[in-house]
Amino acid sequence: MCLEIATGGAFNGLGRTIPPSLVGIILTGSRIPLALFLSQEHILGLNGVWWSMSITSVIKGTVLFSWFLLLLYKHPEIKSRPLRTLPMFRWTNKYLRDKKCIQEKPI
């Protein structure tokens, strides 16, 4: 679960919000059928509900982390980009310049 949250935040920081959304919606939706299957009396019973939540959380973290590594492998310029060129920092710097909190060019 920690890996899922951290990698989702990394995607959001890069401005790519589609991968965490897709993985989250699909695998969270798959919890119900998996819980129904695992909670059958002859399989795990009520513990199957908790196992389905744990299994899908581990899969979400693994898929997101793999997707993030693939993204970094395919686009090595992302690793070398300065932070100011990332989408979240561009908006922040523009907002601060408009509010006259920071100067346009350093002295």
pTM equals 0.68
User: Residue 1: which of 68, 71, 54 has the closest Cα?
Assistant: 54
Does any domain span residue 94? no
Total count of domains within the chain: 1
In a domain, residue 50? The reply is: yes
Flag whether 41 is in a domain. Answer: yes
SS (H, E, C) the chain: CHHHHHHHHHHHHCCCCHHHHHHHHHHHHCHHHHHHHHCCCCCCCCHHHHHHHHHHHHHHHHHHHHHHHHHHHHCCHHHHCCHHHCHHHHHHHHHHHHCCCCCCCCC
Q: For every one of its 107 residues, what pLDDT tens digit does the chain have, with 9 covering 90 and above?
A: 888 899 999 888 888 889 999 999 999 999 999 999 999 999 999 999 999 999 999 999 999 999 998 988 888 777 665 555 555 555 555 555 565 555 555 55
Residue 87 resides in a domain: no
In a domain, 32, yes or no: yes
In a domain, 52, yes or no: yes
